[in-house]
Structure 1
Amino acid sequence: MEETLMNKTKVYGTALGAVMALAAGALAAQADGICKNTVRVLAQPQDSLALNEKNKDEFEKLSGASFQIDYLNENDRRAKSRADASTIGKYNVYYIDEANVALFAASKWIYPVLDYYPKDYDFSDFDPGRQKVATFEGKPYFAPVTGGGDLMVYRKDLLDKAGLKPPATLDELIADVKKLHDPDHGVYGIALRGQRGSGANVWRWMPYFKGFGGQWFDGDKPTFDSDAGVKATQTYLDLFKYSAPGTKTGSWDESTGAFLSGQVALLIESSPLGALALDPKVSKVTDKVGFAAPPSPLTGGGYAHGLAIGVKGNKDDDARKCAGLFVAWATSKENEQRNLEAGNFGGLNRTSVLTSPAFNQKFSADLSKALSDTAKVTAVNFWQDADWPALGDRWGIELEELIAGTRTDVKGSLDELNDYAKELVAKKKK
């Protein structure tokens, strides 16, 4: 059995290598000499980009020029990219994310990525959820370098012992959380995020809000103090009764840490948890973990970071094509295969890679299926607007206070947020 598997793996690897070589050769013939100058990129550190830098010679042979990546931490990268894209345009390519794609696209600081993304690189192969996040007003603006949606990750042994199947609906989830909650024996039904922030407690609350039919706005009119907003908030607060210790004031680290240490029966979290749960270096439950899409009607919280083509930094059509070629090469199937071989789960964004035999061997077929299933329900849950961080962070403060009990009026809190949103909209009109 092992020998057969090894032979199949060798054959698969050889065939894949041949396909990659042919594809690279064909594309090189088409793109030879398109770049006249070094491609300048502003980004934040990612393992996949570091791997790209190890293969600079490949891009230079392909394009006729090399590239230089300047790295900054997330907040500094956001600030510098805004300043550069809106003024001098020193950079050809910007690393952007779900929180600022609306600002960059609406300000016309970047081009729709497909305007200059070579068709041979197959943009449609990217995970559908990540494509949604990269899209603003019907057009994608970046190619993903990292991203994901939500997974329900659960302890198979605890569900089996209780005679339960993985919950397929939110009602089943709530009932199962209550049954599995056993704090006297160190097991908690669920783990949530309570720490304030648009990317913390609000991120985990939004699937309930959207799942119940909530919308942030109707045109310019804020609508989140609706029945859906109240129901989502109350459901989230009720589930906190069964959440692991430390999560009322915690975020990703506390929520996932509680699961990885064996304290939590199930949770819904961003998809990188899938790989962590299978890693014996950080997980105590590697042989007991199962994966599924979030239970209906919850939506998956789509997020993504990626590479976009700058407007001011690319003065002519050749420069724009060169930047597009770099974006395509850096996020290509061939480079994703390198990420897979390196075990860099966060750098895997393409359906062809996430569903491949090599992925199943490196991680698991169960995780692959769950990622495919969750892509179908992944949505852009946040308000796609330049003011989203301000609105999300404001709600994060109120939601944290509701979780802590220093604030008790759910509807009144949402009404207060509605008033704040009206102020944001009014400022835009001035």
Structure 2
Amino acid sequence: MRPVRLAASLGAVFVLSATVSTLALAQAPVCSAPVKVLAQPRDGLTLLEDSKAEFEKLSGASFKIDYLNENDRRAKSRADASTVGNYNVYYVDEANVALFASSKWIVPLTDFYPADYDYADFDPGRQKVATYDGKVWFAPLTGGGDLMVYRKDVLEAAGIQPPKTLDELIADVPKLTNADKGMYGIALRGARGSGANVWRWMPFFKAYGGKWFDGDKPAFNSEAAVKATETYLKLFKDSAPGTQTGSWDESTGAFLSGQVAILVESTPLSGMAVDPKTSQVVGKIGFLPPPSPLPGGGYGHGLAIAAKANADDASKKCAGLFIAWATSKENEKRRLDAHQFGELNRTSILASKEFADIYGADLGQALAETGKVTAVNFWQDPRWPDLGDRWGIILEELIAGTRTDVKGSLNELEAYANELVKK
């Protein structure tokens, strides 16, 4: 994802935001009842609770957010959306937006998202993830793509320039490993799961030209899939201890504790890497987009308008106004002031002087550049978690060495996919 529109100053952005709010306040109340939201805990949502009076003045009503952990939130939102429809707004994510949209449990967001709130200002990669079947379904609360985060001191000592291509990465990683000194060239994810090992494998699959389908037929046993898997397994030879059975926490933890020279991971890592409370390598790191042609793994979580609870357009407009306000430039600025890096989604904020003052200009530039190559790598279909988790089991076994036949494993996955698409 993208061209980024740079703000000449953040002050200009918030003059606009103030104008937006003034225009909205001049209108008649939009909401006749409190907006009921089902979500999972996020710092950015908790921060909204401090501004309830602002939303009530803006809309004519307040809001109530019920929080559940991720798995329980997904289960309850499916049950609610398909039956009684108690909630006006659902928290959705890249793994379930296809199910909610295709089931007509949510409605296209931009039909009811006030234009003055500038949806186009969101990071283009997050817009891609929020789009399914050509329509936008949610406003981002969190998300991103991938960045290459690297130890400038370690690469300099080894006489290695930060790799700009995948071939350079593959060649450099073994040179940066020194197990006797507790340094490893890279950290990957080995634990099974569509959002774990498969998530980190997918950019290699896409980089080598892989496709999930050829027309309507699964195409997982391609040469691209074989090469991607072989490359992933090769790089794992230099992956930090614990990552072979680990996921996000283990790979990022290894980097933040100073054990890893190069890490290509989801963008929230970068905010953690410059925070002395979470990182032992502050001041030693650089940021770049993933080595070409690796695409960033686009993901996103956000707020969507429920269909059943919002039976008429007036209710949908109320829900749309809440979502627009909750994800507005003004509330994004509050999240920036609170140093909630993982909750920042707007290009005007990421390009601002205030962001650069807190996180550094290099990080803002890297985020802008990585957006241009961020992509939706997973299969946008309600059956994706089933397929991805199945591949995760097989890939975990290949990493652990209990399987050795890459081509045969991909053939097995393809057979599973053929049965899955018949359902």
Instruction: Please tell me the TM-score bracket, short chain as reference.
Output: over 0.9
CA deviations over 1:167-189 (Å, ceiling 9, x no partner): 11001111111211111221101
How high is the TM-score relative to the length of structure 2? 0.96
CA–CA separation in structure 2 for the residues paired with 1:196 and 1:275? 26
Q: Which runs of 4+ in 1 moved over 2 A?
A: 12-23
Give deviations 1:355-379, integer Å, cap 9, x for gaps: 1111001111111111111111111
Cα distance in 1 between the residues matched to 2:359 and 2:24: 30
Give me the whole-angstrom Cα distance separating, in 1, the residues matched to 2:187 and 2:13.
Answer: 40
Q: Does 1:370 align with 2:366?
A: yes
What are the within-5 Å matches in structure 2 for residues 2-401 of structure 1? 18-30=15-27, 32-401=28-397
How many Å apart are 1:35 and its aligned residue? 0.5
Report the Cα distance in structure 2 between the residues aligned to 1:278 and 1:413, rounded to whole angstroms. Answer: 40
Gaps of 5+ in 1: 1-11
Rounded Cα–Cα distance in structure 2 between residues aligned with 1:367 and 1:138: 31
400-409 vs 80-89, which deviates more?
Answer: 80-89
CA contact 2:10–2:348 (8 Å) conserved in 1: no
Q: CA deviation at 1:20?
A: 3.8
Report the alpha carbon displacement of residue 15 of structure 1 after superposing the two structures with TM.
Answer: 6.3
Q: CA deviation at 1:315?
A: 1.4
Greater RCO (CA < 8 Å, at least 6 residues apart): 2
Number of aligned residue pairs: give it.
Answer: 416
Cα distance in 2 for residues equivalent to 1:128 and 1:353: 13
2:6 is matched with which residue?
Answer: none
Alpha carbons 2:10, 2:353 under 8 Å: kept: no
Three-state SS of the structure 1 residue aligned to 2:141 is: strand
TM-score by length of 1: 0.95
What letter is aligned with 1:27?
A: A
Distance in 1 of aligned mates of 2:89 and 2:230: 43
Q: Specify the code of the residue in structure 1 equivalent to 2:322.
A: F
Distance, in Å, in 1 between the alignment partners of 2:90 and 2:17 is 27
The answer on whether the counterparts of 2:173 and 2:186 sit within 8 Å (CA) in structure 1 is yes
Gaps of 5+ in 2: 1-8
Q: CA deviation at 1:23?
A: 3.1
Mapped partners of 2:282, 2:232: distance in 1: 28
Contact 2:90–2:306 (8 Å) recurs in 1: yes
**Once the two structures are superposed, what CA deviation does each residue of 1:114-159 show, in whole Å capped at 9, x if it has no partner?**
0100000000110011000001011110000010110100000111
Q: How far 1:21 sits from its partner (Å)?
A: 3.2
Equivalent in the alignment of 1:7? none
Structure 1: distance between partners of 2:197 and 2:260: 18
Identity, in percent, stands at 70
For residues 57-91 of structure 1, the C-alpha deviation after alignment (integer angstroms, 9 at most, x for no partner) is 10000000011111111111111111111111111
User: Which range is displaced more, 359-368 or 13-22?
Assistant: 13-22
Name the residue aligned to 1:8.
none
The one-letter code matched in structure 2 to 1:275 is G
Q: Pairwise CA RMSD of aligned residues?
A: 1.3
- How far apart, CA to CA, are the structure 2 residues paired with 1:33 and 1:417? 54
